[in-house]
Structure 1
Amino acid sequence: MKKISSFLFSLFAIVFFISSCKKDSYVAKFDKSPEARMSDTINFVKKTLTSAPDGWIVTTPVYFGGGYGFYMSFDDSLQVTMYSDLLDQFASTSKQSQTRLRADMGAALTFDTYNYITELNDPDNNVRNGYGGDVDYIYDHTNGDSIVFLGKRYRMPLSFVKATAAQKAIYTSGGYLTAIQAFRDFFTANSNAYIALDDGTNIAIVPNASNDLDAGKRVTFTTVDGNGDLVSSTAKFAYTVDEMSLLDSGVNIAGLQFKKIAWKDAQTLAVYTSTGGKYPILQSPVPLIPAVNVFTGGGSVITVANETSASGWGSDFVTRRASTNAGINGWNVGGSQLSLGEISFMSINGAAKTFTLRVVTPYGSSSYLNLDYSYSYEVNSDNTLKFTYRTSSGNANALYSTLSPLLQERINTDNFALDYYIDPDTNVAYMRFTSVDNPTFVFTGTF
């Protein structure tokens, strides 16, 4: 009898355990299904976008290019009205299009019809799928008055910040383009812009306002470290009516994180750090970066003018240029006499320490030959440069000996100190090359 009772008790315990594990006793971690939660998120995002009475200031970096700014306002049907800094006409003329919110990899904001956002994805602007912008953006997070999406394909952030009534009035009355032009004009007038840190460090600031994929809509901060080496940091930027927003993590240099360039007062721009530091932008009479560093940094084209003499030139250079021109006059193309034109240091490769010296030889009314000579260079211990001729071909090789007064007897053999020269009449800064070995062989060039 005890055995039967024990068996029945064990059987009851097993049945009880199994019944306690039935599916209808499972307590879910969430009190709603995934579908219901997605619906709630979509409704939340829609309400957020459409309930901003003064619209949104929107910025995004793009995958292939720089950064771009927008103003957007959504109505209850998610029709969007927008402006953009991509092109001047986009900044002054609004564009309306339809958007929708749908379930995708999350709550997705999709720009269904043509607008200024879709321009960033247009392959007509670049065969690599436009600038690298998206048309589908997945909701990421909300923080106070901001909401952030991530591009579905390129994963670049599309950041919305609520606009004020005053900002809306500027955007919708054509003031966006005026604000953009004010930033451009400032940096045109202050072409050697820099900031001075509290410790005495000076940092040059060079914005590129073009839409060039590789360099446009970016700003570069550059300084010289304690070892005399150039240190640079670049960020993509977008214009708003108030500032140049430095996107992603901003510019990080000299132990500081710079997040925006904005007006300190009606005449002065300043750079602001992530911690609220403010540094007014100043103007240097010459570039802040030493001339030799500009040359060796690559990317510059230094052009010596097509003149018989110019401000800042030394007597030996003037004499030798005239002698070289006389030699070139002995050559002709189809009966048209050649002459000596501009001389350019170009295709400077700082890593390989090479460059091309191009000598232009005009003939006839508007024709010319480009004589290209390949050079390498070395930086001497005293920061002077030594140029070494490597090779040439074709017409350049044929005329090489004719250029001897300038090349074989000076540029190929001498050491050169580089600095800046300011024309006293025009106040224009030039890069100056002075021969250490023959100090009156001096020439200047635009850069």
Structure 2
Amino acid sequence: MNKKIIVYMGLLSILLGSCKKSEDLGFEVEKSFADPAEQLTAFKSSLAAGSDGWTTMLKLRDGRLISGYLKLDTVAKDAVMYLDLDSSTLAAPSTSKISIQTTQTTNPTLVFEEGSQLDSLEKAGVDREYAYKSTAGDTINLLGNRYGNELKLVKANAANALLYASGKVSQIRKQVSDYLFSTVYLVLKADASTTAQISVNPVSKAFSSSAINSASGLKYSASGYSYTSKGIYFQNPVLVGDKKVYELLWDENGETLYAEIGGSRIDLESSDIPVIAPQYLLGTFNYNLFSLGSPYYMNIPGWSVSFRNIWLSADDALYARRYNLYVMEFDMNDKDKSMNLNVYFWNLTETTLYKATYSYTYTKSADGVFKFTQLPTNTSTVAGGNAEFVAPQMKPLTDIIQTGSYTLDYYHTASAGSLGQFKSVETPSVFFAGFFESLIQ
């Protein structure tokens, strides 16, 4: 027999001889998975340990954030719940039954029975069953079994519980909400070189922020937020220079919001007009559109006689073909310096609205001068085909866009608010204003 084979068979017999049953080993083999019953007992004990209740943060998959307070009685299997859906749901909690069990998942699950404030949110994709995910200090992280919403429970103290039970949090929510409804823009000036312009929507509980720094340029933030006992908390932080601001605190006496940055308090200022120049914003988040509409349908101020005549000449040419020019919008992308010029026009006979799209690239100088270059029309698309169809009639407008260069500034009006206004550098008599949003419903 080959010597190598003899050696191999000898080694194999030694290995096989050493592989006896686990009871012959000098140590016990730990099970790969914890006993579900043990996990369930431990989970119940963790929830019972929150004798003063839990402050809650519910993160929905659509980006919304809901905060509140939860008091659990694991013996009576009751849950008292306050959510910041509105002032009333923070003033009058719901009471419902709960169960703590192992459901279709292997992890223990907290189930809110009918009657909780979660009932009104179920159609919006909010879970009523939350499986245990992890624990970190005084925080328990849960995950919705059906929709994957994230529920965070943070152990509260007696003072936290009193703020909700006394209606104080409901009062704070109303004060902050009223303040936000009275503002257009919030301005946070971290230092001489850093300014954040924050727009908050109290109805949808969403915010967007544009923060400009003389060294690092413009940074954008967008997120949902929730009301807390201290003010408002952002799901994603406001970026102010290299600092992240997660919450705005409410000064009840001063009736203002403020941030704490680097250990210092910085009060937010209220402004009815934007404070960051539009040349930095156009083509970025929430500012990708610049729209203007026909003077026959809407009266937009800030148009020169020369531009109005150019618009009307295009409209007259379309009218000769039984169409009306309705809206023109600049759909811009600052990252790749591209623009779709979308033109909407009516068919007078069928009252059908059509869309035509012309493609451009553009450059922007350091001092904010825009220069547009038209690209070949993509006729393989419906919008491109429409653009080719009305190209001769639209030529007065498409020509002036690419034959000159333009500055962009705000045009403030009492009736329409803050618009944007393009002005031709080469032909100062040509200028036009528009909205930083879509005019097509």
TM-score w.r.t. length of structure 1: 0.72
Q: How far, CA to CA, are the matches of 1:440 and 1:187 in structure 2?
A: 40
Match of residue 17 from structure 1? none
Q: Which structure 2 residues correspond to residues 221-240 of structure 1 after superposition, within 5 A?
A: 221-227=209-215, 229-234=217-222, 236-240=224-228
How far 1:436 sits from its partner (Å)?
1.2
Deviation at 1:386, TM superposition (A): 1.9
Correspondent of 1:264 among 245, 251, 256: 251
Q: Which amino acid is the alignment partner of residue 197 of structure 1?
A: A
2:68 matched residue in structure 1: 70
- SS of equivalent to 2:49: helix
Structural RMSD (CA): 4.0
The match for 2:412 among 422, 425, 444 is 422
Answer yes or no: is the 8 Å Cα contact 2:90–2:164 preserved in 1: no
Count of aligned residue pairs for this structure pair: 389
Task: State the match for 1:159 in structure 2.
Answer: 153
Alignment CA distance shift 1:299-1:355 (3 Å)? farther
Alpha-carbon distance change, 198 to 286 in structure 1, aligned in 2, over 3 angstroms: same
Identify if the C-alpha distance between structure 1 residues 292 and 95 changes in structure 2 by more than 3 Å, giving closer, same or farther: same
Stretches of structure 2 that go unaligned for 5 or more consecutive residues are 1-22, 28-33, 378-382, 437-441
Task: Show CA shifts across 1:169-197 (max 9, x none).
Answer: 327xxx74x75565444344322221011
Instruction: Check 1:39–1:132 CA distance in 2 against 1; reply closer, same or farther (3 A cut).
Output: closer
Task: Give per-residue Cα distances to partners, 1:171-225, cap 9 Å, x unaligned.
Answer: 7xxx74x7556544434432222101134421122345576xxxxx554433223
Per-residue CA shift, 1:285-314, capped at 9, x if unaligned? 432332122212154322213326643212
- 1:99 and 2:98 are equivalent in the alignment: yes
1:47 aligns with 2:48: yes
**Residue identity in the other structure for 1:417:** T
Q: 1:94 to 1:221 in 2, by over 3 A?
A: same
Q: CA deviation at 1:445?
A: 0.7
Name 2:328's counterpart in structure 1: 343
**In structure 2, distance between residues paired with 1:106 and 1:85:** 31
Match of 1:353 in 2: 337
Letter in 2 for 1:407: T
Aligned with 2:209: secondary structure? strand
- Which amino acid counterpart does residue 148 of structure 1 have in structure 2? I
State how far apart, in whole Å, the 2-side matches of 1:415 and 1:131 are: 50
The answer to whether the Cα contact below 8 Å between 2:233 and 2:248 also exists between their aligned partners in 1 is yes
Identify the residue that residue 380 of structure 2 maps to in structure 1: none
Deviations 1:406-427 (A, max 9, x none): 222x11321111111112x437
Q: Separation in 2 of the partners of 1:350 and 1:295?
A: 7
SS in 2 for 1:288: coil
- Judging changes above 3 Å, is the alpha-carbon distance between structure 1 residues 91 and 368 closer, same or farther for their aligned structure 2 residues? farther
Give unmatched runs, 5+ long, in structure 1. 1-21, 27-32, 212-216, 333-337
Question: CA contact under 8 A between 1:243 and 1:261: conserved in structure 2?
Answer: yes
In 2, the alpha carbon distance for the partners of 1:393 and 1:38 equals 61
CA distance in structure 2 between the aligned counterparts of 1:134 and 1:440, rounded to whole angstroms: 64
Q: 1:109 Cα deviation (Å)?
A: 4.9
Equivalent position of 1:214 in the other structure: none
Equivalence map 1:99-118=2 (5 Å): 99-102=98-101, 108-114=108-114, 115-117=116-118
Aligned equivalent of 1:30: none
**Runs of 4+ off more than 6 Å:** 33-37, 103-107, 131-134
The answer to whether structure 1 residue 201 and structure 2 residue 201 are counterparts is no
Amino acid across the alignment from 1:231: K
Alpha-carbon distance in 2 for matches of 1:108, 1:298: 41
Contact kept, 8 Å, 1:192 with 1:286, in 2: the verdict is yes
> Which amino acid counterpart does residue 258 of structure 1 have in structure 2?
V
Bigger proportion of residues as strand: 2
What CA distance in whole angstroms lies between the structure 2 residues aligned with 1:342 and 1:155? 40
Aligned partner of 1:254 in structure 2 is 241
Contact conserved, 1:74 with 1:81, CA < 8 A, in 2?
yes
Cα deviation for residue 110 of structure 1 reads 0.9
Find the counterpart in structure 2 of residue 136 from structure 1: 131
Aligned residues of 1:223 and 1:231 also touching (Cα < 8 A): yes
Partner Cα distance (1:411, 1:442) in 2: 11
Where does residue 399 of structure 1 map in the other structure? 390
Q: What SS class does the counterpart of residue 368 from structure 2 fall into?
A: coil
Is the counterpart of residue 375 in structure 1 residue 359 in structure 2?
yes
The 1:343–1:86 alpha-carbon spacing in structure 2 relative to 1, beyond 3 Å, is same
1:193–1:206 CA contact under 8 A, matched in 2: yes
1:94-130 residue CA offsets vs partner (Å, 9 max, x unmatched): 444332345799984512535455777x5x54xxxx4
Separation in structure 2 between the aligned mates of residue 194 and residue 225 of structure 1, nearest angstrom:
14
Change (3 A) 1:81 1:131: closer
1:91 Cα deviation from its structure 2 partner: 5.8
Using structure 2 for the length normalisation, give the TM-score: 0.73
| Corresponding residue SS for 1:65 | coil
2:316 matched to which residue of 1? 326
Aligned CA distance change for structure 1 residues 202 and 330 (closer, same or farther; 3 Å): same
**Residue number in structure 2 paired with 1:148:** 140
CA distance in 2, matches of 1:340, 1:150: 54
Contact 1:358–1:373 (8 Å) recurs in 2: yes
> Counterpart in 2 of 1:290?
277
What's the secondary structure of 1:331's corresponding residue? coil
Distance 1:340 1:379, change over 3 A: same
CA deviation after TM superposition for structure 1 residue 352, in Å: 3.5
Shift of 1:35: 9.5
User: What residue is the counterpart of 1:10 in the other structure?
Assistant: none
Structure 1 CA distance for aligned equivalents of residues 351 and 201 of structure 2 = 33
